[in-house]
Structure formats: C-alpha cells, structure tokens
C-alpha cells in the first residue's frame, strides 16, 4: 500500500466512539481522512476538533443517515465525484442493542433498523465505492463487526417474531462477517482485501452505556486492533478473515456455510438494489 500520508481513508460513524478515535489517529498520521457522520452539528464539531488536534487540513466531512438507503447512495456519489481513489473503507457506524426492552425499530426503507444500519448500509456503500477501491489497489475494506454473533433465521430476517435488541445487533454483526468472507472470494485477484474484526469487548462508548452499566475495555483498545487492520503492512494480501481484536479467529459457524452466505448475498442485492460491478 501507499505510505499513510498518501492514503485516502473513509470511516463511517466517525463522530463518536471508536470511529472518532480512529479518524483522529489516522489524521495525526497524515492520511486524507473522510469523516462520515449523520448529524451536521456533531460532524462540524468533530472536523474542527480533529483539525485542531492534528494540524491536518485534509480532513473532510460527509453527512448521511445510514438508516436511509437513498442517503447511502448519495454519500457514495459525493465521494466518487470528489475522489478518484479510496485506499481504505472502514465500515464502523453502528447501532447497539439499545436500552433494555427497546421495541423493534425500522429504517426509512422499512427494514429492521440494526440489520439496515449495521449491515445493509455497509454492503451498499462498499459495493458502490468499489470502483474507487479498485482504482487504489492494493486497498482495504475493514468491517467493524463484533464477537457478539447470532445466526440469521432466513424465515424472519426482519425479526418480526419475538424481537430482542441483542439478537438484532448480533444478527447484523454476523451478517457483516458473512459478507466479508463472500466479498473476499469475489474480489480475489483484484488487490482489494476485506476483513472483519471484533475491536474490543464493551468499550466505553455510547452504545455500551445505553445498554449496560459497565465496560470491560477502552476505545483505545479497539482503535489499536482496528488501525492494525487498516495500516499493518504485514496484513498485505490477507483477506476474508475475522479477527478477535489482534488475533485471527473463528466466527460463528454460519459464517462458513456457503449456502447461507449465498442466501444473504442474494437478499442484500434484492433489499438494496446494489450489485457488485
């Protein structure tokens, strides 16, 4: 890969938590950082703070609510218009399990919210940005998933029966890993690699504080694991893998079921209207 100072890196959900930390660290390292957020005030404040802290003036913001697929498409178009290559895409934005007893929520497109934001938006954004990623090859996609994984019940993907926030979260996180493995196979030989990780357990972030009253690790722990997948030259060519923090690990068994992955891929194409080109 190019030296980090020549890399253009997009991080979704970079106005808080892990994404915010990784964006600042990469800006400090001299990368051109595309900071994605959904709230104009939070995005403006994040850009100002990162620029002030790092002195890097190649930090720019992009607004999109990932619960709305039309905004995902607009985000991809804006980035494609303004950049001719993308060295790294970090699909980090996510919604947690929510406070206890949170009722089932829907995206703008009528899909179960966590499946939509945590998985479908990243699927669509990644495929829409593929021409830029191919143009930058060797380039990387990093999917921020989780060790919390539950199999997808293809008869009830939108969780209409017996909704539970943790189940919704974990299903979406396994979907990200299944997508990672499939996409790596489809991108073989292109120089675009894709890996997923569990950054760290119960970091001190908003999504953890709203669901639980304790933490087990820090944002810095998760940032170190995530930045390794983004930058470590030793991972050149490594693709289709799931990492539990810094260690390559085995994901839930459904991730290795080619039939289940094919079903998810077909469903994702249908729900988003986006195919790999």
Residues within window 22-41 making contact with ligand NAP, judged by CB under 6 A: 37-39
Considering the rule CB under 6 A, would residue 203 count as an interface residue with ligand NAP? Answer: yes
Token pair recorded at residue 261: 């992955």
Nearest-CB residue for ligand NAP: 17
Give the residue among 42, 72, 94, 63 at the shortest CA–CA distance from 226.
94
Interface region with ligand NAP, contact rule CB under 6 A, candidates 17-25, 185-193, 241-249, 265-273:
17-25
Of the pair 19, 61, the CB lying nearest ligand NAP is at 19
Considering the rule CB under 6 A, would residue 93 count as an interface residue with ligand NAP? Answer: yes
Of the pair 97, 136, the CB lying nearest ligand NAP is at 97
Interface region with ligand NAP, contact rule CB under 6 A, candidates 157-165, 199-207, 227-235, 265-273:
199-207
Residue 170 near residue 149, CB atoms below 8 Å: yes
Judge whether 123 counts as a catalytic residue.
no
**Among 111, 169, 242, 256, the one annotated catalytic:** 169
CB of 168 to ligand NAP, least distance (A): 12
Of the pair 92, 136, the CB lying nearest ligand NAP is at 92
Residues within window 128-167 making contact with ligand NAP, judged by CB under 6 A: 144, 146
List 11, 23, 33, 117, residue binding ligand NAP (CB under 6 A) = 117
CB of 165 to ligand NAP, least distance (A): 12
Query: What x/- string results for residues 53 through 72 when contact with ligand NAP is judged by CB under 6 A?
Result: ------------xxx-----
CB of 202 to ligand NAP, least distance (A): 5
Q: What is the DSSP string of the chain?
A: ---GGG-EEEESS-SSHHHHHHHHHHHHTT-EEEEEES-HHHHHHHHHHHHHHH----EEEEE--TTSHHHHHHHHHHHHHH-S--SEEEE-------STTPPP-B-TTSSBHHIIIIIIHHHHHHHHTHHHHHHH-SEEEEEE--S------TT-TT--SS--HHHHHHHHHHHHHHHHHHHHHHTTTSSEEEEEEE--SSBSSHHHHHH-S--SB-HHHHHHHHHHHHH-GGGTT--S-EEETTEEE---GGGG-HHHHHHHHHHHHHHH-----
Which residues would be at the binding site for ligand NAP (CB under 6 A)? 13, 15-19, 37-39, 42, 65-67, 92-95, 117, 144, 146, 198-199, 201-203, 205-208
């Amino acid at each position: 890969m190019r030296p980090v100072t020549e890399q253009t890196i997009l991080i979704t959900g970079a106005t808080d938590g892990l994404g915010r930390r990784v964006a600042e660290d990469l800006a400090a390292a001299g990368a051109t950082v595309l900071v994605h957020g959904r709230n104009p005030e939070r995005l403006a404040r994040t850009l100002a703070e990162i620029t002030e802290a790092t002195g890097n003036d190649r930090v720019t913001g992009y607004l999109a609510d990932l619960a709305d697929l039309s905004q995902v498409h607009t985000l991809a178009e804006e980035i494609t218009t303004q950049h001719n290559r993308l060295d790294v895409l970090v699909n980090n934005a996510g919604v947690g399990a929510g406070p206890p007893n949170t009722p089932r929520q829907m995206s703008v497109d009528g899909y179960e919210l966590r499946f939509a934001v945590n998985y479908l938006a990243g699927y669509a954004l990644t495929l829409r940005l593929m021409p830029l990623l191919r143009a930058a090859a060797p380039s990387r996609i990093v999917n921020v998933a989780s060790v919390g994984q539950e199999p997808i019940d293809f008869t009830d993907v939108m969780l209409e029966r017996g909704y539970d926030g943790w189940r919704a979260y974990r299903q979406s996180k396994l979907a990200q890993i299944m997508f990672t493995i499939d996409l790596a196979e489809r991108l073989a030989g292109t120089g675009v690699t894709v890996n997923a990780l569990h950054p760290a357990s119960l970091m001190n972030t908003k999504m953890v504080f709203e669901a639980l009253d304790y933490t087990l690790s820090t944002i810095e722990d998760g940032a170190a694991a995530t930045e390794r997948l983004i930058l470590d030259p030793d991972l050149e060519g490594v693709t289709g893998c799931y990492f539990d923090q810094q260690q390559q690990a085995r994901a839930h068994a459904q991730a290795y079921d080619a039939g289940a992955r094919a079903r998810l891929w077909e469903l994702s194409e249908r729900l988003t209207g986006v195919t790999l080109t």
